[in-house]
């Protein structure tokens, strides 16, 4: 099986869902903070309640602790047997896209599916007899647009948070002081298991990241993320603006790098690969390890 198969917007594929619910079992559904709001709205509870009741690792993953179903795998916490998804209107991007995935690289968006065989065929072979749809029509039908915007806004926020870690390392004199530990600590953070990373960041930052109190129109992901970014930048300024010593600055750089990597994981990125990319950039700008 190869890594993934890229698809084009005009490709016609067996994308009509037979609604058997197999992909709501044993799957991995990651979340960004706006998706958490969307799910909570659908459930008519607060994002904090949704996070605490139905998510893992501080809110970046929907919990799969429902009834055992397809292939002995547990259902998503939002799945109801003989009914389907209980949060269908607010479901996250990963569920809207499935069996497809999405990647954004250098401002270009690509869609793909895992492996070289169309994923639905394993659990729902009947889809091969249903109406073929173009990828473009499928995305329209799934109303992915707002959710894709949210994903892109949060990708920018990941970079903004990482930029604070860069600033603390490169623009405060820390790197110039001969520091050789910070990049190794960044790397260690990238390798942490999500539960350990969440514990290391601590509840205050996790809550600011995943359940911010934002009063703008929460239906609009762009204004929501804009406000959220402002709040996170302000928090970083409040927390790190007056640091005096290099050990304090190093600690702050590692912490905020952890926050960026945690959010990146919620967007489906691989923190280990991402942190290596950032370490390379830091080294090109004078940091050493």
Q: Decide if residue 87 touches ligand SF4 (CB under 6 A).
A: yes
Which one, 17 or 249, has the nearer CB to ligand SF4?
17
The b-or-e profile of 44-81 (16+ CB within 10 A means b, else e) is eeebeebbeebbbbbbbbbebebeebbeeebbbbbbee
Q: Kindly state the smallest distance separating residue 24's Cβ from ligand SF4, in Å.
A: 3
Q: Kindly state the smallest distance separating residue 49's Cβ from ligand SF4, in Å.
A: 16
Which one, 42 or 276, has the nearer CB to ligand SF4?
42
Query: Which listed range, 14-22, 211-219, 238-246, 248-256, lies at the site for ligand SF4 (CB under 6 A)?
Result: 14-22
Using CB under 6 A, pick the residue from 7, 37, 55, 124 that binds ligand SF4: 124
Query: Which listed range, 13-21, 30-38, 135-143, 212-220, lies at the site for ligand SF4 (CB under 6 A)?
Result: 13-21
CB of 39 closer than 8 Å to CB of 53 = no
Query: Which listed range, 17-25, 216-224, 229-237, 246-254, lies at the site for ligand SF4 (CB under 6 A)?
Result: 17-25
CB of 169 closer than 8 Å to CB of 175 = yes
Q: Kindly state the smallest distance separating residue 79's Cβ from ligand SF4, in Å.
A: 4
**Interatomic CA distance for residues 195 and 89, integer angstroms:** 29
Q: Decide if residue 38 touches ligand SF4 (CB under 6 A).
A: no
Using CB under 6 A, pick the residue from 34, 50, 57, 98 that binds ligand SF4: 98
Count residues binding ligand SF4 (CB under 6 A). 24
Binders in 40-69 for ligand SF4, by CB under 6 A: 62
Using CB under 6 A, pick the residue from 7, 30, 127, 254 that binds ligand SF4: 127
Q: Kindly state the smallest distance separating residue 144's Cβ from ligand SF4, in Å.
A: 13
Q: Decide if residue 114 touches ligand SF4 (CB under 6 A).
A: no
Q: Decide if residue 31 touches ligand SF4 (CB under 6 A).
A: no
Q: Which residues bind ligand SF4 (CB under 6 A)?
A: 17-24, 27, 29, 62, 76, 78-79, 85, 87, 91, 95, 98-99, 120, 123-124, 127
């Amino acid at each position: 099986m190869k890594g993934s198969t890229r698809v084009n917007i005009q490709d016609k594929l067996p994308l009509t869902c037979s609604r058997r619910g197999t992909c709501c079992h044993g799957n991995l559904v990651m979340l960004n903070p706006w998706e958490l709001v969307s799910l909570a709205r659908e459930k008519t509870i607060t994002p904090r309640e949704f996070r605490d009741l139905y998510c893992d690792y501080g809110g970046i993953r929907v919990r799969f602790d429902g009834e055992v179903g397809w292939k002995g795998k547990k259902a998503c916490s939002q799945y109801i047997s003989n009914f389907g998804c209980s949060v269908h209107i607010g479901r996250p991007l990963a569920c809207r896209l499935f069996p497809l995935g999405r990647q954004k690289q250098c401002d270009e968006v690509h869609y793909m599916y895992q492996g070289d065989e169309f994923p639905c065929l394993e659990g729902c072979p009947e889809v091969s007899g249903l109406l073929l749809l173009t990828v473009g029509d499928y995305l329209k039908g799934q109303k992915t647009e707002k959710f894709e915007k949210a994903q892109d806004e949060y990708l920018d926020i990941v970079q903004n948070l990482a930029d604070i870690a860069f600033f603390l390392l490169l623009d405060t004199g820390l790197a110039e002081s001969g520091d050789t530990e910070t990049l190794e600590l960044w790397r260690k953070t990238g390798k942490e298991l999500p539960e350990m990373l969440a514990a290391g960041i601590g509840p205050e930052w996790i809550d600011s990241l995943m359940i911010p109190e934002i009063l703008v129109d929460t239906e609009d992901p762009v204004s929501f993320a804009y406000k959220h970014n402002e709040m996170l930048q302000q928090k970083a300024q409040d927390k790190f603006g007056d640091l005096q010593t290099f050990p304090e600055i190093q600690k702050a750089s590692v912490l905020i790098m952890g926050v960026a990597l945690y959010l990146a994981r919620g967007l489906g990125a691989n923190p280990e690969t991402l942190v290596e990319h950032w370490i390379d950039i830091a080294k090109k700008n004078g940091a050493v390890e």
